[in-house]
Homo-oligomer: A and B are copies of this chain.
Amino acid sequence: MAEQKKMVDAITSMDEDFARWYTDVVKKAELIDYSSVRGCMVIRPYGWAIWENIQKILDGMFKETGHENVAMPMFIPESLLQKEKDHVEGFAPEVAWVTHGGGEELSERLCVRPTSETLFCEHYAHIIKSYRDLPKLYNQWCSVCRWEKTTRPFLRSLEFYWQEGHTMHETREEAEAETRQQLDTYARLCEEYLAIPVLKGRKTDKEKFAGAEATYTIEAMMHDGKALQSGTSHFFGDGFARAFDIQYTGRDNKLAYPFQTSWGVSTRLIGAIIMTHGDNDGLVLPPAVAPIQVIVIPVAQHKPGVLDKAREITAQIGKFCRAKMDDSDNSPGWKFAQYEMKGVPLRLEIGPKDMEKNQCVLVRRDTREKIFVPLDQLEERIPQLLEELRQGLFQKALENRERRTWAAHSLDELKSIADQHNGFIKAMWCGDEACELKLKEEAGVTSRCMPDEQEQISDVCVCCGKPAKTMVVWGKAY
């Protein structure tokens, strides 16, 4: 008991040290455990249940829009990885190589997939013969491996879980529309389900995916003002198709190369949830993905009838939300702290006094607001409160982002903002990579995206003063 109490208490304040606060939360909320392989984590039941909920929502969205799930091998032969020049240059330095199998050295080494464009292309070359075979709208849920130098749970790890969609289309326009549609799907997931506001936009050439013609991104702002790239959608043109010799007979009876997209989100989203909504008491989970939406805590549970009533309520509300009762012999105070740490959106307290009045107490995780609710109104009030909480989380995150968004009209202004704050800095850009590099060097910021919603901050590039082509949002990023 003393040890358990200590466990709940020992969390670093986020204002004192945000990075340590983060690490404390992922451990104390029992999301992960470290393994003996550097950068590989064990995702514990509570963490995995969040991912399963995200998967369910997203997989439903994918299937509604005609996508099908497949499973590709986890290995890519070196020669296959090398088929698309830009792609191999981008990924070869950070892959893991299998060199021996079954006690023998392999004649060709295999990399553990860092992403699966090459595998999908190899398969597509086998099955796409005619325009009748298009579009192909495939997705897979899997883990991939990138040999990162520094790692942090969920944000950057050697192995991570994600989905990767890979599609092939008859026309450039159709593939571009797919790229944007999937970005919109990701934005909807983040905003409507995870309560995380995101900026939609396009990456600069420097930041785009290895081998892509264009990369689109959703960028979220964390509580500390740093950006988190939360999902990307790539348009490949027919570059991979040419490299992999994927040709089909078109409606005009001529051979043609199909146009390709790929898009992915990962367990990084769990990191986004933690750093967007969490507070000094731990996690705060958006109801849509919370493994437990309502935790029922009997108060004075030794008193006659309390446990029975709590059990009855749990069964009752379990019909319309994910409810759990904790009837362990820990004190109510310990339980309160424990489920706050785990970010359970609503706490339901029921004790003898409440029973007399035929009511219970509902406590919101985010605002700590206590609401007395008659027992016969739970079916109406709980979904209402969960929705209010979701909106509250979104609003709070949006306000944080607005408070931490600036416009810079000169290099000095930009440097001064970046020096004092973490946040989004809107500034015009000429489109020249040299300016992008200079801003990174001198102000420590990278281009997050060229947002869909453009503003005319000024007419000239914030860096070189030449005519501006576009507004870029700059920032420090995870």
A interface, CB within 8 angstroms of B: 33, 35-37, 40-45, 48-49, 51-52, 68-77, 80, 93-103, 109-110, 112, 119, 122-123, 126-127, 138, 142-143, 145, 147-149, 158-159, 161
Q: Cβ of B43 and Cβ of A70 under 8 Å apart?
A: yes
Known interface pairs A96-B98, A100-B96, A101-B96. Does A71 touch B33 (Cβ–Cβ under 8 Å)?
A: no
Chain B residues positioned under 8 Å from A37 (CB to CB): 73, 75-77, 110
Q: Determine if A159 and B74 form an interchain contact, defined as CB atoms under 8 angstroms apart.
A: yes
Which of B40, B42, B76, B100 contacts A70 (CB under 8 A)? B42
- Whether A36 touches B122, Cβ cut-off 8 Å, given contacts A41-B73, A74-B145, is yes
Contact of A161 with B96 in the complex, beta carbons under 8 Å: no
Kindly list chain B residues whose C-beta atoms are within 8 Å of the C-beta of A71. Answer: 42-43, 48, 51, 143, 161
- Min CB distance, A331 to chain B, in Å? 15
Cα of A420 to Cα of B41 in the assembled complex, Å? 53
Within the complex, the shortest CB–CB distance from A111 to chain B, in Å, comes to: 9
Copies of this chain in its oligomeric complex: 2
A75 and B147: CB pair below 8 A?
A: no
Chain B residues with Cβ below 8 Å from A148 are: 102
Closest to A110 in B: B37
Among candidates B49, B74, B147, residue contacting A102 with C-beta atoms closer than 8 Å: B147
A35, A72, A158, A159 pick with most chain B CB within 10 angstroms: A35
CA distance A77 to B96 in the complex (A): 14
Chain B residues whose C-beta falls within 8 Å of the C-beta of A158 in the assembled complex? 101
Given A42-B71, A48-B71, A102-B148: 15 more A-B contacts, CB < 8 Å: A35-B72, A37-B75, A37-B77, A42-B119, A43-B70, A43-B71, A44-B70, A73-B159, A74-B159, A97-B99, A97-B100, A98-B112, A99-B99, A102-B147, A112-B112
